[in-house]
Amino acid sequence: MMNSRAPDGAEFLTAVYEIDGPASTAQRVAERICFDQTIEAEAGLLPHVLQAEIVGHVQNLQQSSDGRFEATIRFRGELLNSDCATLLNVLFGTSSLRGNVRLLSFTMTDELLSSWHGPRFGDESLRKILAIRNRPLLCGVLKPLGRSARELAELAAQFVEGEVDLIKDDQSLLDQRWSPFEERVSRCAEAIDDMSRRRGRPCLYFAHVSGAFEPMRKRAVRAKALGATGLLIAPGLTGFDALRSLGSDDGLSLPVMSHPAFLGASVGSERGGLAPGVLYGLLPRLAGADLTIYPAFGSGYTMSQQDCCSVAQRCRESWGSLKSTMPAVGGRIGPERLSELKTVLGSDVACIVGSRIQQDSEGIPAALRAFHRAMREWDMA
């Protein structure tokens, strides 16, 4: 992803939107976006010189392959203040209400991007921690809601025995009477650490901490004290700034996994909303997610193969000094899908295995060994 400075040295945020045609209509809509995303008012309410500085500018308008138009619009960096809320408002605040405008991508000039630290660890550091060089990572999910903390810890131990690399709480787990937060995190962290020592390599445990910011921060601190080695946050529920705050907290210094709960509502349709590459790729990466979960294509969720690939591309492509985020795909994935996923997405991906694997008649460790066999088979192919 290219980040360049304008010839006059100014800093800019550049966004690409998909809008309806014909060309004359697309031009009017693009100009309306320039106003909507800045002053949200009609021309003439500001002095001309000031309006020229604040209102966005259409850089390019071209017809796309499906007959719609792609409008590239540049906004001055002075509109931003280095938080996610302001960035989202400039990118798609009012225009998101139109229903027929889609945000396809965005980038920033280097100076603007330098105030965003992105993932603390990124995919390369995660692989070093886990001592996994080039195969997909396997992530087990502790579920369902209703199991006791002891039962979830036993499930975690079976996942580690089956050689998963990561384990996360289900997003439904937080602090319920069936499984209180402190007891669950303590028991699961202890079980995962014990089994990891037995097998001779680590398994990271991502405790779910989403909520109102202050309770969430306290839960994150407590989760680390109880032995969690990662945090699971759903930015669709908490806001991307909450993810960014915890990910950049030097006192925590834990890898962060982004969960897509509620984010799917922002994808909209093919004519509006946020493109999956933005929603599951660019935004979590910019906010500091080390892994970002999203639906795999063919999983029963609304996700095409092309969109699935676009998320992975946004997670990995060069973007200033930001480290890469590891794409993590889910949706009842079985070993029979690994070859297809690897062919399409490559090996630098995490596969989420949840409820389906718990139904295997051979048991969880044996079911997970089938995943590892499938990975070895495609490596030899």
Q: Give one DSSP letter per residue of 233-287, joined into a string.
A: E-HHHH-HHHHHHHHT-TTT---EEE--TTGGGGT--SSSEE-HIIIIIIHHHHH
Tokens 């069936």 belong to residue: 178
Q: Express each pLDDT in 185-215 by its tens digit.
A: 999 999 999 999 999 999 999 999 999 999 9
CA torsion 146→149→152→153, rounded to 10°?
180
The CATH class, in words, for 12-113 is alpha beta
Q: How confident is the model at residue 3 (pLDDT cuts 50, 70, 90)?
A: low
Class of domain 122-380: alpha beta
Instruction: Give the pLDDT score at 2.
Output: 53
pLDDT in tens, 341-361: 989 999 999 999 988 888 888
pLDDT tens, residue by residue, 46-94: 888 888 889 999 999 999 988 899 999 999 999 998 899 999 999 999 9
Query: To which residue do tokens 């596969």 refer?
Result: 351
Same fold for the pair 12-113 and 122-380: no
Taking the domains of the chain in order of start, what are their residue ranges? 12-113, 122-380
Predicted confidence at residue 360, as pLDDT, reads: 86
Those residues with Cβ within 8 angstroms of residue 303's Cβ, 6 or more apart along the chain or in another chain: 276, 294, 295, 296, 297, 331
Cα–Cα distance for residue pair 298/302, rounded to 1 Å: 8
pTM across the whole model: 0.95
Instruction: Output the CA torsion 108→286→244→274 (10° steps).
Output: 100
Give the span between the Cα atoms of 98 and 29, in whole angstroms. Answer: 10
pLDDT tens, position by position, 22-31: 999 999 999 9
Mean pLDDT of the 247-254 span? 97
